[in-house]
Amino acid sequence: MPSVLVAVCQFAPTVDRAGNLARIAELTADAASHGAQVVVLPEYASYFVDPMDASLAENAETLDGEFVRALRTAASAHGVTIVAGLVETAGDRVSNTLVAVDRDGVRATYRKQHLYDAFGQTESDWIAPGAPGAVETFEIDGLRFGMMTCYDLRFPEVARTLVDAGADVLVVPAEWVRGPLKEHHWTTLLAARAIENTAFVVAADHPAPIGVGRSQIIDPQGVVLAGLASGVGIALAALDRAELERVRTVNPVLRLRRYAVVPR
């Protein structure tokens, strides 16, 4: 069975939208030159400001705006699928949105369900939550990818609903803010979502000093196949369908589950 080569690109988006697009184009070209078929970028890749303020709405875009058009251009130029975080126009507030884009356009769109109202932050002051239970997936060479965002990682039901919908790979763009034990939480939860769902996990974070970094590609047994430290960079790994099926055969947790997930 063919494998799918995936790249996680760890970089720090800023308030410079044009600069963000230029950096994304560079990272995509670099990843593609190493054979990547899927390129995963962080949450808020289109625009990021810390602390959050009204400029989020001023710099929000639609799904047919400049950011997505640029992703499509890069995807077409390099024959890849790109997953990235977008600040999307959404009425009084904005949506924290992920898009999966290839040469033909947007393949999947996911709006973050669990907003980061924790550890002294209130993302909901600026962001509207996505619909509970929303499932967005896309397929590449026989592997189904499901999308979730950053703080969603702390809620295992999100990953569960994606896997119940057929996802083999959990894609997690993030801006995992630094703080006491936050790096430990990030790496532990990534491994937990992989192990409990017997799924690959592909996670792209912002680097230090705001994010923890530690972008990783993890196999269905929780083993890190490739990863980064706290700086800017790219990590690549092949996702092997045969290995996924082997793990799910010897550890059939998906078949043995006794509970359904129901949105509140």
Residues annotated as catalytic are 43, 112, 150
Determine phi and psi for 58, rounding to 5 degrees.
Answer: -65, -25
Give the H or E element holding residue 60: none
Query: What is the spatial distance between Cα 204 and Cα 85, in angstroms, rounded to a whole number?
Result: 10
Amino acid occupying residue 129: P
Query: What is the spatial distance between Cα 75 and Cα 27, in angstroms, rounded to a whole number?
Result: 12
Minimal CA–CA distance to 213: which of 238, 177, 179, 189?
177
Residue whose entry in the numeric block shows the structure tokens 């709405």:
57
DSSP state of 251: S
Minimal CA–CA distance to 17: which of 58, 51, 72?
58
Amino acid occupying residue 154: R
DSSP state of 125: G
Question: Is the four-CA dihedral 182, 227, 237, 110 of positive or negative sign?
Answer: positive
Torsion of CA 143, 186, 130, 65, to 10 degrees: -70
- Is 231 exposed, middle or buried, given 0-12, 13-18 or 19+ CB atoms closer than 10 A? exposed
Q: Return the ∠ at Cα 220 (arms to 162 and 134), rounded to 5°.
A: 10
